[in-house]
Structure 1
Amino acid sequence: MNEQEIVDYIIKETEKANIDNISRTEAYYAYFKRHKEIEWAFLASMVSRNAGWNMCDLEGAYFSFALKKNLRKRLFLTYERANWLIFKDAYPQLLLYELSKKKKKSLFSLLSKFDVHSFMEEEWTRFWEEGKKKRLVHALVVNEQHIIQQPVISHPVYQKRVFSRPFFKLQEMLHFSSVLFPTIQGELYGLSVYNFLKVEERIELGVKLSELLFHRELFTLFDDFASSTPHTGSRYDYEQYFRERGKIATPHLRSTFRPVAHHETQRDKWVESKEKLERWLVDTPLVEIVNITRWYKKKQRTLHFYMLVEGKMKEIIKWK
């Protein structure tokens, strides 16, 4: 393929895989199975699973009872928009690396054709020459969290209609929000999300999650889960492995949400100091391995109780 054919091929493949949360999750994991050295692809796949579960919660037995339809729709679109933007930026990078391997020469100068930040061209070139896997994971985490900062996190509409709402603040305050890495043994590992609106906190979380995901004692367990459990968006994906299996409280994504037509007019070019970037790229935080299965189940019961009370209160107010 010549350069234009490469660009056309990557645009086509990215659009085909960027249809919804399930197509993105599957594309990331399939890519990781082809290129195990690109660890970020597995991290992206597992985080994407979490986004799908959070989306489907909105139309499940509890959230649909307590939250108004308009708020649920806004929350869904927030998850969907952020994940669509990240995939649109990241997947061309992954495909260019794949083609570079096939051609046995660097094609990263073509990243500008996809409006990818020059920071990533430098980091992919460095990885091509030096093969430092962790640094590349950190670089991708840094870039993608900046990608969503202006169009989603700091956007006035999302700030007003989503992030300033009591429900969002309550989730963070009571530590209801977590990124989960399940196993087929019915165990859960993961980390809670704090200060989600700050790009620094999301980067630190992403780096810590990568350390947890690829921990030598746990990676095989997580990979077994991913390879044997199709992603549906329902929390039953992992709850089916619990000893005390309850009813399916969240639906499947594709039976609940239609694909969303997105557009992106102009991508903001983020700027950070070299000192800060280098700190993010080389620092590896120590991650304590904590089995959060019991903690998670307790938090879910608390959240469900809150949702039921909230729903009942709305019914009482409505009938008054």
Structure 2
Amino acid sequence: MSQAEVPSRRTVLRGALAAGALTAAPGAAHAAESRAPYRNPLVEQRADPHITRHTDGRYYFTASVPEYDRIILRSSRTLGGLSTAAETVIWTRHTTGDMAAHIWAPELHRIGGKWYIYFAAAPADDIWKIRIWVLENQDSDPLRGSWTERGQLTTAWDTFSLDAHTFTHRGDRYLVWAQHEPGLDNNTGLFLSRMAGPLTLTGPQIRLSTPEYDWERVGFKVNEGAAVIKRNGRVFMTYSASATDANYCMGLLTADARSDLMDPASWAKSPEPVFVSSEETGQYGPGHNSFTVAEDGRTDVLVYHARPYRDITGDPLHDPNRHTRVQRFGWRPDGTPDFGVPVRS
């Protein structure tokens, strides 16, 4: 794939960055303070965070590191404990060939009695030829045992693709990911497929969303980093949009839990972002989220990254200070999520 097809994120951001255009309304921060019983940032300089709570009650954490060269894991009995938990490097990039650059956005999932990590990587000689790759571990503890490279997860097109997220619904396993669709004037849209197993897609691969609103197209035309939570008879899919600076924000897709998720018409897209930068709390570019629950097993927790400042020198991808943050969130009377604003540090 040529750089003409997918503009490199290393290029100068196109157009005005609309400083201040996507910020939470003044006063919103006060209502959000009660959502923040955790230390923030939870883990510094860890972007694209993914936290899963296993059936044994332990939390497992992984994320992108600023060097984009390795995959790390932490584990703790409590969410707050992830801040000081030992960090283990479970895999390191290749020095040549495939999986040698841009090791991005790992996600850890337990499937069929094994652990899997889905992540993005590029070859050493073509660092923007980013694709989805998979690691597997048969040990009951992902911090032990050995991680085996299971190869590239193949999608319908051999184009820029990343941010794989898997979930189950009504007995079927699905994968949602971000990819550049040939012929479209964007960087990435969101695509959905059923899975035949943890390593294989099956059946049609449908487009769920493409950047269409102005707030999804600032700097780059991006939909990426999807995450799914099911509540109140609906399937909610968050995603992130625009460049990875202060304009980065979260959007939302919603489907009825009884509907056919593989029918694009089942999904409704919110016309406004649902989680944005906040001048009042001093947190910018919130996004690439995941979901977990608090120690009580019931309270929903939003996991995301953000920076504690707006202005960035150079390419935002080279600025290391996207920090992992967590905060509780609630639900509106109509059953939709209320993420509030990024809480203060």
TM-based fold match above 0.5? no
* Structure number having the greater strand percentage: 2
**Which structure would you say has the larger RCO, counting Cα contacts within 8 Å and 6 or more residues apart?**
1
**TM-score band, normalised by shorter chain:** under 0.3
Please identify the structure whose Cα radius of gyration is greater: 1
